[in-house]
Structure 1
Amino acid sequence: MDRNTQQSSGSALYPPIDPFDQRMLDVGDGHKVYVEQCGNPHGLPVVVVHGGPGGGCSPMMRRFFDPAIWRVILFDQRGCGRSRPYASVRDNTTWHLVADMEHIRETLGIDRWAVFGGSWGATLSLIYAVTHPDRAAHLFLRGVFLMEQRELDWFYGGGAGQFWPEQWDRFCALVPQQERDDLIAAYHRRLFDSPVHEQTRFARAWAAWENALASVRSQGQTGEPNGEYARAFSRLENHYFINHGFLEQDGWIRANLDRIRHIPTVIVQGRYDMICPPRSAQLLAHGMGSSAVLHMVPFAGHALSEPGIASQLVKSVDRVATAQDGLLRFE
């Protein structure tokens, strides 16, 4: 389907495609990570980094890239999606995930690749780039989360709850009043130190709080999250947050931006993102200087599926592909 036909159909995304390669990659520590490739096997390589922590890749994530131009690599992070062991937090830290990305790159014989990630995926993309600045040819970031305490305080300390009081009250209600000064810690005790049925009950509440705020069009009604998925997602996310992303200092990403200021970066941010407010995107753009372009989408929230977000991401990816002048490689 050509671009004009596709856009006239009302969707900014490219048509659905299937992978040409799927594998389980042994990354050590008892973990096997699901990896897939789709698009052009000889095209511009791009790795897609999903959110969470605790989410997983999805077929929709393939559709932000022209399959004739891009070699698209998706993977499920440790403990997520089709990776095994499922929901495991053992040997599961930010630094394990960075090492896994390098393992994937080397296994696939890629020298440099673009990195595409949103929310926690943007966090991990930035940490990967800081750690391996010679391997990230371009960054596409959406719904920026810098893994800073002020961001956790906003979402789990009552800031977002000022806008969504009904959902916030439901999230807090499961925890005794005397523990509500630190909801991440309170949920951690119940997600990890209680029977499985109790873990699932708290996991559903944790996931429902986040899901309710994902879209600017949301009315806060998300339905009941699947118990198995909610337990994996919530335990992994809480595991990362209670450990502050396993970073050695608050503000680690911004403190290390000098290592990646040479990398062309596109930032796409929803103006009304309640999960990752625009301040972080602005701070990142300022810190990156002239290498970064920030697109603030006027009527959009956090979700990758928001029409304005999806449209701007596709335009940005297409622009980079055009700039490569059909060479199908990163110089």
Structure 2
Amino acid sequence: MVFIAIFRHLPFGAACVSCVMLRVGMFGLSEAIWEKMMYEIKQPFHSGYLQVSEIHQIYWEESGNPDGVPVIFLHGGPGAGASPECRGFFNPDVFRIVIIDQRGCGRSRPYACAEDNTTWDLVADIEKVREMLGIEKWLVFGGSWGSTLSLAYAQTHPERVKGLVLRGIFLCRPSETAWLNEAGGVSRIYPEQWQKFVAPIAENRRNRLIEAYHGLLFHQDEEVCLSAAKAWADWESYLIRFEPEDVDEDAYASLSIARLENHYFVNGGWLQDDKAILNNIGKIRHIPTVIVQGRYDLCTPMQSAWELSKAFPEAELRVVQAGHCAFDPPLADALVQAVEDIFPRLL
């Protein structure tokens, strides 16, 4: 197969990059299998570090139009960090694009630090960034763990949210974390990869894998930590794409996502109970919201998006024939479209 990258112009305005993958067979190029449309990545015009606690400094950046509609991108994990490609979901001509790396990950400091690192610390950090930048209200965009954090932030500060675009709904419930990291869930779909995931854990401790991994990821021996982090991250990376490929994650780069995910999962995301987010939906039902969900998402299955849409009937649920990764073409297209469609409601 070959990839052809071209510049296109959407009705919305700015140039976007469209990557079309064409099947090459014995008769030459055939029809496009898919099309991925995201905006051209612009460099930040403003960035820095914000001291949010005695321990933590978080990285923040702004790109796009300084006078545009503010939007904040909340990455997943917890612990994944953001990348420059995340700017591509937003038209840089009309959006003031704010991206942060949450505590302990990405460019934030110190790396992989779980101390003073809870959902409510992150919610407070988002507010500190908003106040620092002098933004009154903004669009909040988040996927996977970022959808959890977006909802928690919106329910805490509804007066500061113009709209929500959510992907891969995760409500941080024990049933969801067990699906991903305990036996009997997604392990049944990829048993061969599951064997690699459980390998670091003694057989007599595999009935509570998340807790067992906690001991390894926070072990005093750095080699033990890094080995466990790599196994954790390899397992999750394999599940993210609609068409999985063999993965071999860097051990040190894996430490933040493995350690912080485990830290949050062990503590139930610091939510009051497993219905906390759904029970507080009444606080945000007036906020324009689009939910984009991959039908075949193995990390954050469709059930949670469905339950959220039932509790939040004003939100629009868009189901895409895709998996979990926001950069897989069907989801990337749907997310760009969701932002374009919600834009008039933000003005």
Task: Report if TM-score (shorter chain) is over 0.5.
Answer: yes
Tell me, yes or no, if structure 1 residue 304 matches structure 2 residue 326. yes
- CA change 1:8–1:2 in 2 (3 A) is closer
Deviation of the 1:58 alpha carbon: 0.5
User: Which secondary structure state, in structure 1, belongs to the residue aligned with residue 312 of structure 2?
Assistant: helix
Q: Which residue of 2 aligns with 1:316?
A: 338
Tell me, yes or no, if structure 1 residue 263 matches structure 2 residue 272. no
CA distance in 2, matches of 1:9, 1:309: 14
Equivalent of 2:239 in 203, 213, 227: 213
Between the aligned residues of both structures, percent identity stands at: 45
Equivalent of 2:216 in 172, 186, 190: 190
Deviation of the 1:320 alpha carbon: 2.0
Tell me, yes or no, if structure 1 residue 77 matches structure 2 residue 102. yes
Structure 2 unmatched runs, 5+: 1-6, 21-35
8 Å CA contact 1:148–1:250 kept in 2: the answer is: yes
CA distance in 2, matches of 1:156, 1:235: 13
CA distance in 2, matches of 1:286, 1:250: 16
Tell me, yes or no, if structure 1 residue 272 matches structure 2 residue 278. no
Tell which deviates more after alignment, 149-158 or 119-128: 149-158
CA distance in 1, matches of 2:232, 2:278: 28
- CA change 1:8–1:244 in 2 (3 A) is closer
User: Which secondary structure state, in structure 2, belongs to the residue aligned with residue 91 of structure 1?
Assistant: coil
8 Å CA contact 2:229–2:255 kept in 1: the answer is: yes
Equivalent of 1:236 in 239, 260, 274: 260
- State the AA in 2 paired with 1:297: V
Tell me, yes or no, if structure 1 residue 127 matches structure 2 residue 152. yes
Structure 1 unmatched runs, 5+: 325-329
Deviation of the 1:8 alpha carbon: 5.7
Q: How many residues align?
A: 321
Higher fraction of strand: 2
- State the AA in 1 paired with 2:210: I
Deviation of the 1:156 alpha carbon: 1.4
- State the AA in 1 paired with 2:318: H
Asked which structure has the greater RCO (Cα within 8 Å, sep 6+), the reply is: 1
8 Å CA contact 1:147–1:251 kept in 2: the answer is: no
Q: Give TM-score scaled by structure 1 length.
A: 0.94
Deviation of the 1:33 alpha carbon: 0.7
- State the AA in 2 paired with 1:295: R
Deviation of the 1:2 alpha carbon: 5.1
- CA change 1:78–1:315 in 2 (3 A) is same
CA distance in 2, matches of 1:126, 1:3: 32
CA distance in 2, matches of 1:2, 1:274: 32
Q: Which residue of 2 aligns with 1:226?
A: 250
8 Å CA contact 1:93–1:240 kept in 2: the answer is: yes
Q: Which residue of 2 aligns with 1:327?
A: none
CA distance in 2, matches of 1:93, 1:265: 25
Equivalent of 2:186 in 146, 155, 160: 160
Deviation of the 1:174 alpha carbon: 1.6
Aligned-pair RMSD on alpha carbons?
1.3
